[in-house]
Amino acid sequence: MSINESNYDDTEILRVNRAAGKHPVPVSDDTFQVIETAIEYGVITGGAFDVSIAPLILLWGIGTPRERLPAPDEVTSARSLVDFSRIVLDSDARTVFLPEPGMGIDVGGIAKGYAVDEATRILSEAGVERGIVDFGGDIMTIGRRPDGRPWRVGVRNPEGTARGNILGVIESTGETIVSSGPYERYFVKDGVQYHHIFDPETGYPTENNLTSVTVVSAVSETADALSTAAFVLGLEDGYRLIEQLPGTEGVFVTDGNRVYTTPGLRARFEITHDEFRDASREFD
């Protein structure tokens, strides 16, 4: 299967990927903005978030009937095509160009966040004063509960098999909460688990001691990209990244059920599962 037959049907992203190495492709304002923002987060995260990751996603096929463990030379070849800095945007013509055949864009790590932001904007403009927008794990809280108290949003237990199995609760008012982890899509080969969050540097699923990262921000698009990037960066670098960005907080969970919460979130995050331990002070 080629990059032209990837996870998208006849969409603007597919047209951009089909035209890789050939010509720029006009796209809508929405698509252009998502790609432009994704590139910005590629810069902010030092490449840990890379919207040009499509060749690796296609190669591994995780979460599809095509999932497999590719040969090392295949990974090397696909990884050579991953580099967000090579994407050419023309803001006047609203075009996107991938300069080398085989390159491809995948917006799976940011588009859902954009959709949540747009849904929230539409609801707010319609006069909705309170509620929760939930796009399959990307959560946005609007206002407060009818009783005036903050919403209580559960953070999933990465070791649990059901979505309702949580490790803690965040009190939230008018912000987004997005989690990333290897528990959603993966396959096991010869006793080794291979998940869907790739390290652009290696071309392989990220290997570190993190089991989940949750990012809290005013903008879901931001939290979507940063939760992926922080997971790829690992505990120390990911924690420092989230800690230094204004208006952004995070919860990091590691092997051994240790939980690290950035300072601005600690007062309103509560661990509710007795198998998890707060280790946040190790970073103070």
* pLDDT tens track for 187-220: 899 999 999 999 999 999 999 999 999 999 999 9
- Amino acid letter for position 79: R
pLDDT of residue 161: 58
| Distance, CA of 133 to CA of 174 (rounded, Å) | 11
Residue 201 lies inside a defined structural domain of this protein: yes
CA dihedral of 45, 21, 113, 91, whole degrees rounded to 10: 90
In this structure, are strands 277-278 and 258-261 parallel, antiparallel, or unpaired? parallel
Residue 284 lies inside a defined structural domain of this protein: no
Residue 252 lies inside a defined structural domain of this protein: yes
pLDDT of residue 136: 83
The lowest-confidence range among 32-46, 155-169, 177-191 is 155-169
Interval 270-276 mean pLDDT: 95
Task: Look at residue 4 and tell me whether its pLDDT is greater than 90.
Answer: no
Instruction: Report the CATH number at residue 169.
Output: 3.10.520.10
Residue 115 lies inside a defined structural domain of this protein: no
Name the β-bridge partners of 97: 88
| Distance, CA of 192 to CA of 12 (rounded, Å) | 36
The lowest-confidence range among 2-6, 60-64, 247-251 is 2-6
| Distance, CA of 203 to CA of 74 (rounded, Å) | 10
Domain encompassing residue 229: 130-276
Cβ atoms of residues 195 and 205 within 8 Å? yes
Task: Look at residue 157 and tell me whether its pLDDT is greater than 90.
Answer: yes
pLDDT tier for residue 183 given thresholds of 50, 70 and 90: confident
Residue 3 lies inside a defined structural domain of this protein: no
Residue 126 in tokens: 């319609």
Quote the mean pLDDT of the chain.
Answer: 94
Residue 30 lies inside a defined structural domain of this protein: no
Residue 59 lies inside a defined structural domain of this protein: no
Least Cα distance to 104 among 58, 64, 60, 40 occurs for: 58
Cβ atoms within 10 Å of 189's Cβ, excluding its own:
10
The lowest-confidence range among 139-153, 185-199, 217-231, 242-256 is 185-199
Cβ atoms of residues 196 and 205 within 8 Å? yes
pLDDT of residue 162: 54
Least Cα distance to 212 among 273, 144, 158, 154 occurs for: 158
pLDDT tier for residue 1 given thresholds of 50, 70 and 90: very low
Residue 163 in tokens: 């979505």
pLDDT of residue 137: 80
Task: Look at residue 51 and tell me whether its pLDDT is greater than 90.
Answer: yes
Interval 124-140 mean pLDDT: 94
Domain count, the chain: 1
Least Cα distance to 231 among 258, 202, 253, 247 occurs for: 253
**CB-based burial label for 231 (10 Å; 0-12, 13-18, 19+):** buried
* Alpha helices by DSSP H, 51-169: 54-60, 72-79, 111-125
| Distance, CA of 266 to CA of 88 (rounded, Å) | 41
Tens digits of per-residue pLDDT, 10-41?
A: 799 999 999 999 999 999 999 999 999 999 99
pLDDT tier for residue 164 given thresholds of 50, 70 and 90: low
pLDDT tier for residue 284 given thresholds of 50, 70 and 90: confident
Task: Look at residue 174 and tell me whether its pLDDT is greater than 70.
Answer: yes
The overall pTM is greater than 0.85 = yes
| Distance, CA of 46 to CA of 103 (rounded, Å) | 19
| Distance, CA of 198 to CA of 109 (rounded, Å) | 11
Task: Look at residue 171 and tell me whether its pLDDT is greater than 90.
Answer: yes
Cβ atoms of residues 137 and 108 within 8 Å? no
Residue 139 lies inside a defined structural domain of this protein: yes
pLDDT greater at residue 82 or residue 137: 82
